[in-house]
Structure 1
Amino acid sequence: MRLDATFLATDAAVRNDSRGVPYMALRLVDRTGSVDARMWKLPKDLLGGLDGPEYVRVEGVTHEYRGMLQVKVERLTILGREEVDEEDYVPVTERNLAALAAEMESVGEELEDVHLKRLFDAMVADEDFWEAFCTAPAAKSMHHARIGGLLEHSVQCVRVARALAEIYPVDRDLLLFGAAFHDVGKVDELSWDGGGFSYSDRGRLQGHVVLGERILHRYVGRVPGFPEELELELSHILLSHQGEPEYGAPERPRTLEAMLIHHIDNLDARVAMFLEATENVSRGGWSNHENPLRRALYVPPARSGSAEEKEG
């Protein structure tokens, strides 16, 4: 299929194929998502790749390569920022943001602990904070890197937390609150204006774990009589949800609720990584290994008699 369209080109790198011939690998991004692309017969001005993310006009063809959708670029023209509307190239969740926000707000109605309920309500009632929470990406590139991604990830974590609360002897309110706001620091860590996602200065210097704990402390101060022990448990959940120091956790999980939040977060993030990496992979095909999971991923063919095959 012929292609003539504009994109934000990211992750561009010039490599040599098995014959030693240079080619450029890159990702083409717009509001709908991203697709892998390859360009051979590089002109001299592209032999060094791109200096960074660039807006480009691409002419070429889309085709399936080893079960994965790919763009073969025939011509690539770098565009100036004045030639594009940068908002057209920022990925946006395909989920209904209003419905996701309403689902998250309903968590507050489930909470039986009066202090957690008041804390939850105080956060949702802050219009500037809540708007930022509902529009922020969950990451710059690893998973849920799209407008509304943080809300999407948080709602998924709450859904998993509800199920686990029926299985394990946990403080249900603490688990749900932690699932909802474990990544709250992302609203200060990331910037999503100006046509792309980037880290703020505070995000680079402190990270979302520390920033999230500070946000929590700020809102706790708005709830009169909030128990010190409860604040400590919530603080520990936020500070330990990354699991290990090498992943940015100041402390490892030391309560059951903190341990479950860590695994819930990790589970949803990795499922998202898989789904995003295989989004353009056909049944029976493989992704390439250039993804956050750092391995080629397989999408099995539909089994005979499966619901998917019957629908097809």
Structure 2
Amino acid sequence: MAIDDLTFLDQPNQQFQGFGFIRSAKLAQTKKGDPFYNLTVAKGKKEIPTKVWNDQIAGREEEVKEILQEGRVIYLEGETSSYQDQLQMTARAFRAVTEEEANLADFLEMAPEPIEDLQAELESYISQIVDPLLEEIVSSIYTRYKKPFSNYPAATHNHHSFIGGLLYHTVCMIRLGLDVSARYPSINKDFIIGGITLHDASKVIEYTNHIAPQYSVPGEFIGHVSMSSMLVDREVQKILAGRGEKAQLTKLEQEAVYQLQHCILSHHGRLEWGSPVEPKTLEAHIIHLIDMIDSRVNMIERGLADAPEGAFTKVFPLGKLYKPANDE
């Protein structure tokens, strides 16, 4: 008997007949030159890599191209198999669907906490920034991009790749940052709150949308790390323009801006990991480490959510991870 809910697919040789959300769709070629599609079909947290081979494409190329578009829900029939210890599916039939047949919202993964609560929490943190210039910079940038900031994911895959993921990741990082700051009085909380709030802010520019995000043109050319620092610089120029002709930052203000930008530019930690510079302040090191902690925890929790207990499961890109058995 065929399974009609994608979330119940968990082993090879299962038949599926139901709806799925196309999170990604890539046209490729076999070694013989035959076209095929690599899809990621999803419902909520569940993702299934899906192949559409040439026998389903030949003679209907334009129709298939129209149906298999990222961000759409389709009707799909297929069967599961195992490839390199990962579950995948081969499509045997598919078609477009109407809004009456399937509601897009039912297939999207959402942040685990209400967006409105996360917004209010983040805004309360920003209001705690003591330095007036830093508070103005951070608050203004957040306010300008509040709507996409609250909807976009923190990544296209792996960690926090769901609606509201950027906001949730940011709030979780600040929670950790303030916990650490409470134990080490030498930490400047202004840079922890401001640096974390803005470290990924330009992902709303780096990605094309929040439903099925791909990299935008500026995202490919520049990337969110540099663009987030650029947002700070642009905000400073606006502030100076408001102060009057030939206005300049004081020496202390300029150093504070540099430190804020440094926290943003160094948050990937190493040059080979995408940071233009490596951390050179206490706060920059902490932000990098907290970013690693929060992204890894989310990656592992989601990767093991449907994994069998008491066994090792391959979680990309971390390798095999163990899920302990639950005695309850």
**Could you say which TM-score interval applies, normalised by the shorter chain?**
0.7 to 0.9
Q: Aligned Cα RMSD in Å?
A: 3.6
Matched, 1:100 2:118: yes
Residue in structure 2 matched with residue 211 of structure 1 by the alignment: 227
Residue in structure 2 matched with residue 186 of structure 1 by the alignment: 203
C-alpha separation between the residues in 1 aligned to 2:51 and 2:154? Answer: 31
* Alignment-mate amino acid for residue 304 of structure 2: T
Match of 1:110 among 123, 128, 146: 128
**Equivalent pair of 1:69/1:280 in contact (CA under 8 Å):** no
* Alignment-mate amino acid for residue 34 of structure 1: K
Match of 1:162 among 171, 178, 197: 178
**Equivalent pair of 1:8/1:53 in contact (CA under 8 Å):** no
- 1:1-312, aligned counterparts within 5 Å? 2-3=3-4, 4-9=17-22, 10=24, 27-30=40-43, 32-36=44-48, 44-45=55-56, 56-59=74-77, 75-79=92-96, 89-124=107-142, 126=143, 128-168=144-184, 169-192=186-209, 195-223=211-239, 225=249, 227-289=253-315, 291-293=316-318, 295-302=319-326, 304=327, 309=328
C-alpha separation between the residues in 2 aligned to 1:240 and 1:39? Answer: 38
**Equivalent pair of 2:45/2:302 in contact (CA under 8 Å):** no
Highest relative contact order (Cα 8 Å, sep 6+), 1 or 2? 1
TM score, norm. by length of structure 2: 0.73
Q: Secondary structure at the match of 2:76?
A: strand
Q: Secondary structure at the match of 2:19?
A: strand
Gaps of 5+ in 1: 16-23
C-alpha separation between the residues in 1 aligned to 2:284 and 2:137? Answer: 18
Q: Secondary structure at the match of 2:223?
A: helix
Q: Secondary structure at the match of 2:222?
A: helix
**Equivalent pair of 1:241/1:265 in contact (CA under 8 Å):** yes
TM score, norm. by length of structure 1: 0.77
What is the percentage of aligned positions where both structures have the same residue? Answer: 27
Q: Secondary structure at the match of 1:100?
A: helix
C-alpha separation between the residues in 1 aligned to 2:86 and 2:308? Answer: 8
Q: Secondary structure at the match of 1:198?
A: coil
How big is each residue's C-alpha offset from its partner over 1:95-122, in whole Å with a ceiling of 9 and x where there is no partner?
A: 2100000000000232222322233332
Count of aligned residue pairs for this structure pair: 284
**Equivalent pair of 1:27/1:34 in contact (CA under 8 Å):** no
**Equivalent pair of 2:141/2:231 in contact (CA under 8 Å):** no
